[in-house]
Amino acid sequence: MAAVLVLVLCSCTSTTSVVRSRFAAEQGCPEDGVVVDAEGGTLYRARGCDREATYACGSVAAFKGGVQCVQEGVASPSGYREPDRPPLPPPDAKIPPPQ
């Protein structure tokens, strides 16, 4: 039982370490030179090598310890297209509008 608990605890990755390694890879900066600060909510600011970036992070099951972070303000990759969404149905006349 203890071995299973240790395995589970070791497989977790902190949000700051995910932000640190992602920033280091994207900016070509050594990880030990990156400082990560929690900005509140799901936002984290990474600084290092005279650069900085803000990341929005969230929990995702079965993804590198359950944390995924995306840099704020980065344009979508070329060729990316928002998925089509079906149009909303007209409002039901029997239901009064919110006031």
Position 86 in a domain: no
- Residue-wise pLDDT for 31-69, tens only, equals 999 999 999 888 999 999 999 999 998 876 545 557 788
10 membership: H or E segment, kind and range: helix 2-10
CB 29 within 8 A of CB 23: yes
Distance separating alpha carbons of residues 89 and 16, to the nearest angstrom = 42
Is 92 within a domain? no
When the pLDDT of each residue in the chain is averaged and rounded to a whole number, the result is: 77
**Considering the domain boundaries, does residue 76 fall inside one?**
no
Closest Cα partner for 44 from 27, 56, 31? 56
Q: Quote the pLDDT of residue 73.
A: 77
Number of structural domains found in the chain: 1
Is residue 41 in a domain?
A: yes
Q: Is 50 within the bounds of a domain?
A: yes
Is the per-residue pLDDT at 5 higher than 50? Answer: no
Radius of gyration of the chain (CA): 20
* Predicted TM-score (pTM) above 0.75: no
Give the residue numbers spanning the domain of 45.
13-71
Residue 52 lies in a domain: yes
- Is position 39 within any domain? yes
Closest CA to 72 of 93, 54, 92, 47: 54
The answer as to whether 44 is a domain residue is yes
